[in-house]
Structures are given as C-alpha cells and as structure tokens.
Amino acid sequence: MDLRTRISAALKAAMKDREANRLGTLRLINAAIKDRDIAARTGDTEEGVSETELLAILARMVKQRQESARAYEEGGRLDLAERERAEIAVIEEYLPRQLTADEVDEAIGTAIVETEANSIRDMGRVMAQLKARYAGRMDFAAVGPMVRQRLS
C-alpha cells in the first residue's frame, strides 16, 4: 500500500475512532501533501508528487515540530512541547526506519565509492545519491558535514 493510501485510511480510521489529536495531525499531513501536489502540477498533468517527495515532506514536518518542541521547552511551555511530540509520533509512523550511525557511515562510504568522489568538489554528487537512496531515512543536515569530512 502506498503512502497516500495509508494516510487516507488512517485519516478515516481516526475519524471513526474520534481521535481528535491524531486526526488533526493527519489532516496537517494531507494538507501539506496537497499543497505540494498543487505546486508540482504543470500544464495538464494531474500527477502528484513522488513517494520520495512525500517522505521529504514528512521529514520536514518532523524537523519543524522538533524545533518547536525545543523552543516551547525553553520557554517553559511543556504542554505545547508535549503536543508537538505527539504530532511527531504520528508523523513518524509513516516514515521508514531511520538508519543507525553505523549504517549512515556505511552508506556514505558506498556513495563515495560509487560516485568515484575524491575531493570536496564531488560532494554534491555524493549527497544527491544519498538523497535518492535514503530519502526520509537519514538526517541530511547531519550527513553533510560527515561527507565533507570524508572528502577533505
């Protein structure tokens, strides 16, 4: 079952079960996906965004909520921080399992070998390959410095 179908089914189930918090988060996910679909439409093409793009949207949503939760904690608003964490939990149900540190290290090594990268100038190719293969499965903000270190 593809990601859109899973989210739609979960949305219907949350409505039936009257799970207000889960329903709100699923509606936010749906809205973000529809916004991206509309932005991606060109001419008479009715196709939506790819599965990889959907994973990137979800990963971005998680990152935004993590930053918000951290800000709420610093501001002493633990109730709002907890709500953000609850939304993160719902969103993460639709993301693939995150790679461990060892798996990330191995993936970087493989990408460097396959792209025949040997200097910092090749970093873009390595990152592009990692993003294509591991979208939603690793934090690319953390991976960038690791790739840069390996190539310098």
Which domains can be identified in the chain, with CATH numbers?
3-92 (1.10.1510.10), 101-151 (1.10.10)
Give the pLDDT confidence of 20-68 residue by residue, as tens digits. 999 999 999 999 999 988 887 765 556 678 887 888 889 889 989 999 9
pTM (2 decimals)?
A: 0.73
| Count of beta carbons in the 10 Å neighbourhood of residue 57 | 19
Give tens-digit pLDDT for 123-150: 999 999 998 888 778 888 889 999 999 8
125, 147 in Cβ contact below 8 A? no
Under a CB-based contact definition with an 8 Å cutoff, are residues 112 and 105 in contact? no
Read off φ and ψ for residue 71, nearest 5 degrees. -65, -40
Taking only the tens place, the pLDDT of each residue in 81-125 is 999 999 999 998 988 888 888 999 999 999 999 998 888 898 999
Q: Tokens for 135?
A: 């979208």
Distance (Å, rounded) from C-alpha 137 to C-alpha 63?
A: 13
Q: Give ∠ CA 13-91-41 in degrees, rounded to 5.
A: 90
AA letter at 125: R
- Structure-token match 């709500």, residue found: 83
Radius of gyration of the chain (CA): 18
Secondary structure of residue 37 in the 3-state scheme: helix
Distance CA 100, CA 123 (A): 21
Q: Rounded to whole angstroms, what are the CA distances from 140 to 10, 37, 44, 92, 109?
A: 28, 23, 34, 17, 15
| Cβ atoms of residues 138 and 99 within 8 Å | yes
